[in-house]
Amino acid sequence: MITRDGFKEVAITTLTFGAGGITCAWAAVTISPWWWIGAVPLLATWGFVLSFFRDPPRSIPSDPGLMVSPADGKITEVARLDGWPGIDEPVLKVSIFLSVFNVHVNRAPCNGRVVATQYERGEFLDVRHPESGMRNERNSITIDPDADYGPIIVRQIAGLIARRIVCHIDVGDRVTRGDRFGMIKFGSRTDLIVPASSGLEPAVKLGDVVKGGATILMRPGQATR
């Protein structure tokens, strides 16, 4: 499957790199092997774009109270912080780094209603830079979960290569755990921030590889509400 947000890019690269690569490959087979010099990079570029915009189906966990990963990638931060804009109490934050080889479709971590969105222009630092979360272009989505966890925030953060954040949900929309809601094109980071008082505990650790919608990122621990 190809995400709808990649139809334009896939069509353009298919008509250019794909068609050119297939033509060169045909010439390499029928005319001269030297044509492979052109065929290989063209076909590799076409394959990379198809791979980047892939949107595989996922099996979404159904147990109540879970938070699933909003993105594919590697866990680069699991931290407890004193507070966060929009959450007036200590929070638990989990960050996911998406390389250009990961699926880039973002998914809702839980059932709930969108109560706020905030898009902020910024820089395009490498998302592993310690200040990228506050300086890079980003989009924050605040969800009021059906479970009594208080507001949770999903942040889409553009990176060094990523230059476009896509988000299809807005204030008032309802989301279901695992729903696709957007993507970040060509490398990025996605954060999930929840109130510490929710009682949710990390189900992942630094370095873990996660899949959007399928991997349990947080699960209920000893609730403190």
- Residues marked as catalytic: 188
Does the reported pTM lie above 0.75?
yes
Which of the listed CATH numbers 3.40.190, 1.10.8, 2.70.70, 2.40.230 matches domain 67-220? 2.70.70
CB 125 within 8 Å of CB 160: yes
Helix locations, the chain, DSSP H: 7-13, 19-30, 36-52, 132-135
Is the per-residue pLDDT at 129 higher than 60? Answer: no
- Which tens digit of pLDDT belongs to each residue from 158-207? 866 555 788 999 999 999 999 999 988 776 889 999 999 988 999 999 99
Q: CA dist 104 to 37, 70, 94, Å?
A: 30, 10, 17
CA angle, 70 then 83 then 214, to 5°: 15
Of 137, 150, 131, the closest CA to residue 86 belongs to: 150
